[in-house]
Structures are given as structure tokens and as C-alpha cells.
Amino acid sequence: MLGAEYERIVNEAVIVQIPQKEQETGVKFWNAEEGGFDGITEETDFYLNEAGDPVVVFAPYEIAPGAAGTVEFVIK
């Protein structure tokens, strides 16, 4: 769907959106050294939203404290 460069595209989109998610949730996300986001893997969950855009999903505690809840990033 996103082509051969999908991993780079998704990783860049998530990195750009993290500050916005931090503002929305009021929670500071972990950096890569703290066990936070350091790129997607084949096991990273995603779905297609109603507009047909992929949405990457991270479970609570996966890239941020549990107070952030499930975190989703729409990839455009």
C-alpha cells in the first residue's frame, strides 16, 4: 500500500506526530533509549481507517506510559 519505502514513510510520520500526541494526552512519550518508539517492525499492529489510510497502533506501555492509553498514528 505504501510501497517499498513503507517502513521509512511510517517511521517518519510517527516521529513527526509524537509531539502532537504528547500534547493531546498530556503524557511524555519514551525516547528510543527508554524503550519508546525506534521504528516499526513486522509485528507492529495497523488497520485501515474509513478513508483508506493506514493507522499504526501501539498498545499502552509500548511507546509511552500507560496513561497515554492505546496510541494511534494515521499515515498519510
The pLDDT assigned to 27 comes to 96
Model confidence at 5, pLDDT cuts 50, 70, 90, reads confident
Query: Which tens digit of pLDDT belongs to each residue from 25-50?
Result: 999 999 999 999 999 998 999 999 99
Model confidence at 2, pLDDT cuts 50, 70, 90, reads low
The pLDDT assigned to 4 comes to 76
Fold of domain 6-74 = Actin; Chain A, domain 4 (3.90.640)
- What's the pTM value of the predicted model, to 2 decimals? 0.90
Distance CA 34, CA 6 (A): 25
